[in-house]
Amino acid sequence: MPKRAPKAPVRPPCQLSLFPETAALVRVDPAANCWRFYHLSLQPDLFGGTALVRQWGRIGTAGRQVCELHHDAGQARDALARQLRAKRRRGYRDRPAG
């Protein structure tokens, strides 16, 4: 009896992300001596959830960093979108490329 060829492993389909997973914002106002940055990113954690990593501070410094854990990627994306809206209301703009 001939041997069967081994089956190729089945990989889950790759889904394109319609929502941002990272964002880099700046707020520059020389008249008020305000030179600030804000960086947001989504990263998987070791337990199957997703972490929203927020880093902020004065441009040229390491700043501060906070990691918020979420049970799934959808909750983390919602939190990222809320943070983006709040920061844009406060005067932050997307960091120019380059």
Query: Left if phi > 0, otherwise alpha if psi is -120 to 50, otherwise beta: which for 17?
Result: beta
Say if residue 54's pLDDT is above 90: yes
pLDDT (tens digit per residue) in 55-84: 999 999 999 999 999 999 999 999 999 999
User: Which domains, ranges and CATH numbers included, belong to the chain?
Assistant: 22-91 (2.20.140.10)
Q: How confident is the model at residue 15 (pLDDT cuts 50, 70, 90)?
A: low
Give the count of beta carbons closer than 10 Å to the beta carbon of residue 38: 22
* pLDDT top residue among 42 and 8: 42
Angle at Cα 27 formed by Cα 45 and Cα 44, nearest 5°? 5
**Average confidence score pLDDT of the chain:** 88
Residue 97: what pLDDT?
72
> Is residue 73 within 8 Å of 65, Cβ to Cβ?
no
pLDDT of 33 strictly over 90: yes
- CA 80-94-21 angle, 5° bins: 35
